[in-house]
Structure 1
Amino acid sequence: MVDGPELADRVLGGWLGRIAGNMLGKPVERGDVWTRDRIDRYLRRADALPLTDYLPEPADDEDARLLRPEWRSCVRGRVHGSCRDDDVDYAILGLDLLETHGFGFTTEQVGDLWLLRLPYLQTFTAERAAYRNLTAGLKPPLTATYDNPYQEWIGALIRADVHGWTCPGLPRRAASLARRDAVLSHTGNGVYGAMFAAALVSAAFTSPTVRHALDEALAAVPAGSRLARTVRRVASLHATRMSWEDTLATMTRETAGLGWIHTVPNIAVLTAGLLYGDGDFTRTIALTVRGGLDTDSNGATAGSVAGVLTGASAIPPQWTEPLQDTVRSAVFGFDGARISDLARRTVRLVGAHGLPGGNRPDGEPAGAPPSTLPG
C-alpha cells in the first residue's frame, strides 16, 4: 500500500496523465477518419515521428480541415491550460460524487448528480441516452437499456479512473465502485470496460510492471467476456514479440464491425499502448494515440495508468507545464479548477474513507445484496 508523499505524487500523476493524454488525442479523435495510417502520415509530414510532445500543427490545409475544431488549443505551442472534454469532466464529476455521497453511493445518486452538475449537451452516446431517460423519470437499470444503442460503447470506461485513484492497490474494490457508476448508462462489455479501467488504475499503484497491473485488472472482470478475451489476446501477441503495428493490425481484423467507439476494439488499442509503452510515460500515450479509434479517451486512460505508475514528478515537463495547473470543465462549479487541488481532494478521499465503516471490502453498502449487471 502506498501512502504519504508517494500516494500524493501518484494521484497527481494520474490526473496530469489523464489530462495530457486526452489533450494529445483530442485533435484526431474521429476514428473513422483518423486511422493509424493517416495519423502517422500527418506526423511524418510535420517531421514529428517519433512522437514525444503534443501533436504538431497541421502541415497543410487538408489536415487542418479534418482535425477537430479544438485543435488550435491542443497542439504543441498552443496549449495554455487544458481544453474542456468529457473524458476529464467525468473524472471531476466522479470526484464530486465521492465527496458528496462517499463510497456507499448508489447508481441513482450518480444520475441525480448528472442532472445537477452536467449540461445535457455536453453528454454523448450512451450518457446522453441515459440522461434523457433520467429526465423522463426512468430509474436504473432502465436508464441504460431503454432506447440506447450505445450500451457497450466506451463512455462508462472514461468515467472509471477516480475509482482507481481512490482505491490504490484494491483493484476489485475499484471495479465494484465503477460497476455501480457504469450501470446507469451501460451493459455488458460497456460495464466491464469501466470495471477493467478502474481496476487497472488501482493496480498501477502497487504493481511492479504494466503486465502485472493488467493481470490484476483482468481478475476483476468476467474471464469469459469479450473484453477480457481481447486483453488476453493482445497480451499474448505482445509476448510473442510481434511488433506493435502487427499486433494492432491483427486486432483490427479480429474486432472488425464493432465501430470505432465500441469498448472492445478500444481496449485492444489501450492494452497495446500500455504493453509496448512498457512504463515509459511518453511512449505509452504516444503509441496509444497513434493507435487510432477513440484517441482522446484511450490517450486519457493510458496517461492515467502511466502517470500513476511513474508519479507526477517523473512525467516529462513538455506534457505538464503547458497545462498550467488549470483544467477547463463543463461540470458546474469546477471550470478553471487547479489540477493540483483536484489531486489533493482525491488523496483526502483515500485518507478519509479508506474502507469506510459500514461498507464491505467490495465497496457495496453493508447488508446490501451484490450488484447485478442489467442486460
Structure 2
Amino acid sequence: MDKQSLKISDFDYNLPTELIAQTPLEPRDASRLLVVQRTSGTMEHRHFRDIGDYLRPGDLLVANQSRVIPARLLGKRAETGGAVEVLLLAERPDLGQDCWEALVRPGRRLREGAMILFNDERDAPRLQGEVMERTEAGGRVLRFSTYGNSEPTNAADPYSLLNVRQLIDELGRMPLPPYIHEKLNDPERYQTVYARIRGSAAAPTAGLHFTPQLLEQLRQQGVRVGFVTLHVGLDTFRPVECEDVSEHKMHSEEIDLDAPTAELIRETRAAGGRVVAVGTTTMRVLESVAGFHNGQIEPFHGHTSLFITPGFHFQAVDALITNFHLPRSTLLLLVSAFMGKGLMEKAYQEAIEQRYRFFSFGDAMLLL
C-alpha cells in the first residue's frame, strides 16, 4: 500500500466509551490477551499470564525501559496569575541547561519571555519557567530555574535545597492520557516494573502487563530479555489530523540501543530465535536502527522520526506485543503495517465484540 494513497479516515473505528479502561487491573498480568497469527489470521482469547505458551526457548523479548516523569505541571502566569498547564515532552540540553520542550495551555497568550510560576502545597512559588520560543509543532521551549535562586538557601525549608529536576519531581503530576478520568491511586501503576531511565511523557503501555514473576518465569523457560530506550514524546498526544497520511510529520524522539542488547538480537537471529518487540516504541527503535544499518543491528544512540505505515518493510522484529490503540493514530497505522489492515480491522472488531478493555490501561494483543 502506497503511503501517498493512505487516508487517515480509513483507520477510524467506533469504540463504545465504556470499553476505555479507566483503571489498571490487578495483578498486572490478569489482563486479557488476544493472540493473532498473522499468516493464518486465527485468533485466540487468553490472559497475559499465558504468554509463555506462545514463546519458545531462544526467543528474545525486547522492552522499552524508559520511565515516565511527573510531566504535568500546574502553574500561574507571573504577570496575571492566570492558570497555566504545562506538559513536559522532552528535555532539550542542546538548547541550554534545564530547557524542556512542552505543550502549554492556554498557548495563545504565552509568548516569548512570559514567565510561569509553579507553587508548592503552601502556595509559595518554588519553580519558574520562562518561555524561550515556539516549536514547529505548536509547543513551547521553556527554561526552568528554581524560584528566586539568587536568594540564600534555607536549610530548614526542604524545597530550598532542591534543583530543577527534583522540583519537577516534587511538584509535577503523572501525565495520564486525557481519556482517563479516574484518579490513579498508585503512580507506579503507570510505570513498567523495569522502567529505570527517566524521560517519558507517557508510559510505553504494552509493558505494563509484565510482573517480575512473569519475567522470571519466561527466563526460566529459556526466553531472554533485552532493553532499549525511547522516551515517549509528542506523537503520543497528537492524532493524525491531515487526511493524507503522507503529510503527517512525525516528531523526532531520542532512542538508545546499547551494545549488550544489540549482541542479544544478533545472537537470537543467528540461532533462529524470534525477536519479540514489547510495544510500538520498541518496534520503532529496532526498525529505525535496522534501517540505519542496512538491516543489521548495531548499537545506536541518536534520534528517530520513523513513521511506520502499511507497506513498510520490517527488518528487525518477528512478533509484537501491543495494546489496543486510538482511532486515527500513528500507532494504529503501525499495527496495520505489521499485521495487515484487513486483519487489524477483524481483530479490533473481535476485541470490541468480546468486550476487551482498550487503550493505556487496557488489554493486550500478541501478533505472531
- State which structure, 1 or 2, has the greater radius of gyration over its C-alpha atoms: 2
Q: Is the helix fraction higher in 1 or 2?
A: 1
- TM-score, with length taken from structure 2: 0.29
Larger relative CO (CA 8 A, sep 6+): 1 or 2?
1
Q: Tell me which protein shows more strand as a share of its residues.
A: 2
